[in-house]
Homo-oligomer: A and B are copies of this chain.
Amino acid sequence: MPGSGSRAARPGPLSPMCPSTPLLEAETSLPHPGRHLCSWTRPGLGPSWASSVVFQSCRSCHLLFRAGAMVPHLVPRQLVRLFRWQVACARGASVQPRTWAAASRIPSLLSPWGAMGTSRLVCRSSSSTSPCAPEVVLTQERYPVTRLPFSVVSEEDLEAFERIIPGRVVTDPEVLEASNVDWLRTVRGGSKVLLRPRTSQEVAHILRYCHERNLAVNPQGGNTGMVGGSVPVFDEIILSTAQMNQVISFHSVSGTLVCQAGCVLEELSRYVEERGFVMPLDLGAKGSCHIGGNVATNAGGLRFLRYGSLHGTVLGLEVVLADGTILNCLTSLRKDNTGYDLKQLFIGSEGTLGVITAVSIQCPPKPTAVNVAFLGCPGFAEVLQTFSSCRGLLGEILSAYEFMDAECMRLVTHHLCLTSPVQESPFYVLIETSGSRAEHDAEKLSDFLEQVLSSGLVTDGTVATDQMKLKGMVTCT
C-alpha cells in the first residue's frame, strides 16, 4: 500500500537506477510541477538541528528530487525544553536553503535493498567509506550553519571519558571517518571522538559529564539512515550504541523481547525466529541498523501493513536524558493503560529528547506459509478495488500490498536487466500472504485470483511460493 511501509514510495531505490539524477532542492525548480507522484518527509540531520527534508519523485520523468530541505521543523519548542536538552542543542541553528549537491558528486549510491538476495545489488553496510571514495564536503562548509556556543573537547575530557569507559574512547581519524559520514555520503561531520558505552549507566555517566561541561553529543546507531540524521554537523561527540548489543530477556509464551538498543535488527530476527516468533518490523538495512535507531526514527518497513507501527508494538523503553537521568519505562506488560505513556514521545524523536538504551518489543508468532502474487492491473481504480477485494478474501493472511506503475517497471527492467513476470500493464501489484497453514492460504489466494481475473480487475498474474522466486519478485518491485 503506498505510503504505508512501501518500498516504492521511498526515494532510495530510484537512485541506483538513475545515476545522473539531479537532486534538486527548491520546490520551484522541479521540472514538472504538479506531477509529483509521492513525497516523503523526515526530520533530518540529527539532534543538533530542528529541520526536515522533503523528497519527491516526479510522475513525468521518474526522477528523485529533494524538495524543501532544511525547512524549519514545526515542533513546539516547549517539548524540547521539557527535558532540559542542553547538551545536544535544539535551540534552532540558523539554516537556509541552498542548492543540493548533484548526484554526480555522490559516487557510491548503493541500493539500500541489497540485502534482498540478488548479486546485482550490493549489500548495505554501516561503513560508508572505501579507500578510493572521494572526500565528502563538510556539512558546515556546504550549508550556512552556525555552531552554537558549546565547549570543545579537551584532553581532560578525553581522560574523563577514558575513566568512564576504559579502552572504548576512539580518536583515530580513520575509525572516526565511518561515523562522521552518512551512508549516502552526502553530509560530513567533524567529530574528534567516538564513545562506545556498553551499559545504560555508562551512557548516563557520559551524558551527565557532557551536560556539566556543555559538550554537544550526537547519538548514533547503525548509521544507515538516508537523510543525514545520524552523523554530527560540527564536532559533536559521537555516542555509539554499537557495543550495547545484548538481549536482556525473551518470554517464550508472550513473545516479548527486551534487549539493548545496539542490537542489530537481523540478529534479533534470527534470535526470535529460532524461538517461533518474528520481529514486527523488517527493513532493507536490517543487516546493520540497530533496534534503538529503528525506534528513534519510528521505522516502518515491510511488515507495517500486518503488524502496524512501533507505537503499537514497542511495549517499553529505557532512555537516558541529556542530564544523565535514566528514564525507566522498560515495561513488558502488553496492556498498560496507567497514566501518560511517556515512552511514546521518544518513538520517532530521532535522539532529540534522549538516548534510547533499551527496548521492550512485542514479537508476533512466526508464519509458517508465505505466498507472493504479482499482478498486472489495467488502471489505478482497479489497483484500489483489488486491494479491497484482497482484504475481504485474504483477510487475516494478507501481509503486504505494494503497487508500481508501468514507467517504474520500465526503469526496473531497463536498469536492472530484470524481466517482468507478467505481461505489460499500466499498473502492477505485489501481494504477500503469511499464514499458519499452507493449504488454506493457497486456497484463499487461488479463489482471490480467480475472482479478480474473472472480474477484469487484474489482467495477468503469477504466484510464487518458493523462496528464490519470492525474492526475485520482491527485488523486482
Q: Please indicate which of the listed interface residues A4, A335, A365, A443 has the most CB atoms of chain B within 10 Å of its own CB.
A: A335
B335 contacts A3, CB within 8 Å?
A: yes
Q: Residue A126 at the B interface, CB < 8 A?
A: no
The stretch of A158-166, A175-183, A390-398 in contact with B is A390-398
Q: Residue A43 at the B interface, CB < 8 A?
A: yes
Q: Kindly report how many copies of this chain are found in the complex they form together.
A: 2
The answer for the CA separation of A333 and B365 in the assembled complex, in Å, is 27
The answer for the CA separation of A198 and B300 in the assembled complex, in Å, is 37
Select from chain B the residue with minimum beta-carbon distance to A315. B309
A337 contacts B42, CB within 8 Å?
A: yes
A354 → chain B closest CB, angstroms: 12
CB contact under 8 A between A339 and B75, given known A395-B365, A444-B440:
yes
CB contact under 8 A between A252 and B388, given known A338-B42, A348-B337, A436-B393:
yes
Using Cβ atoms and an 8 Å threshold, which residues of chain B touch A42? 337-338
Using Cβ atoms and an 8 Å threshold, which residues of chain B touch A459? none
CB contact under 8 A between A253 and B347, given known A41-B338, A299-B337, A304-B335:
no
The answer for the CA separation of A436 and B465 in the assembled complex, in Å, is 21
Q: Among the listed B79, B276, B384, B440, which residue makes an inter-chain contact with A340, where contact means beta carbons less than 8 Å apart?
A: B79
A90 → chain B closest CB, angstroms: 11
The answer for the CA separation of A396 and B434 in the assembled complex, in Å, is 9
Near B by CB (< 8 A), chain A positions 350-390 give 353, 365, 367-368, 384, 387-388
Q: Please indicate which of the listed interface residues A41, A312, A387, A388 has the most CB atoms of chain B within 10 Å of its own CB.
A: A312
Using Cβ atoms and an 8 Å threshold, which residues of chain B touch A292? none
Q: Residue A199 at the B interface, CB < 8 A?
A: no
The answer for the CA separation of A437 and B436 in the assembled complex, in Å, is 14
Using Cβ atoms and an 8 Å threshold, which residues of chain B touch A367? 395-396
A52 contacts B338, CB within 8 Å?
A: yes
A71 → chain B closest CB, angstroms: 11
A335 → chain B closest CB, angstroms: 4
Using Cβ atoms and an 8 Å threshold, which residues of chain B touch A391? 365
Q: Residue A267 at the B interface, CB < 8 A?
A: no
Using Cβ atoms and an 8 Å threshold, which residues of chain B touch A435? 395-396
Q: Residue A16 at the B interface, CB < 8 A?
A: no
A207 → chain B closest CB, angstroms: 18
B253 contacts A392, CB within 8 Å?
A: no
Main secondary structure of the interface of A (DSSP, over half): loop
Q: Residue A82 at the B interface, CB < 8 A?
A: yes
How many chain A residues touch the partner (CB < 8 A)? 64
A329 → chain B closest CB, angstroms: 12
Q: Please indicate which of the listed interface residues A304, A394, A440 has the most CB atoms of chain B within 10 Å of its own CB.
A: A440
Using Cβ atoms and an 8 Å threshold, which residues of chain B touch A388? 252-253
Q: Residue A308 at the B interface, CB < 8 A?
A: yes
A399 → chain B closest CB, angstroms: 9
B337 contacts A387, CB within 8 Å?
A: no
The answer for the CA separation of A73 and B342 in the assembled complex, in Å, is 14
The answer for the CA separation of A435 and B308 in the assembled complex, in Å, is 19
A276 contacts B392, CB within 8 Å?
A: yes
Using Cβ atoms and an 8 Å threshold, which residues of chain B touch A41? 338
A340 contacts B348, CB within 8 Å?
A: yes
Select from chain B the residue with minimum beta-carbon distance to A394. B436
Q: Among the listed B3, B253, B339, B444, which residue makes an inter-chain contact with A437, where contact means beta carbons less than 8 Å apart?
A: B444
CB contact under 8 A between A339 and B394, given known A252-B388, A253-B387, A384-B253:
no
Using Cβ atoms and an 8 Å threshold, which residues of chain B touch A422? none
Using Cβ atoms and an 8 Å threshold, which residues of chain B touch A82? 78-79, 82
Query: 12 extra interchain contacts, Cβ-Cβ under 8 A, other than A309-B335, A394-B436?
Result: A1-B334, A3-B334, A4-B334, A42-B338, A52-B339, A78-B82, A304-B335, A340-B348, A393-B436, A396-B435, A436-B444, A437-B444
Please list 18 pairs of residues, one from A and one from B, whose beta carbons are closer than 8 Å in the complex, sorted by A's number: A3-B333, A42-B337, A42-B338, A52-B338, A52-B339, A75-B340, A76-B342, A276-B392, A298-B341, A309-B312, A309-B337, A338-B348, A340-B348, A395-B436, A395-B437, A396-B436, A437-B444, A440-B443
Nearest 4 CB-CB pairings of A with B:
A312-B312, A395-B436, A344-B344, A298-B337
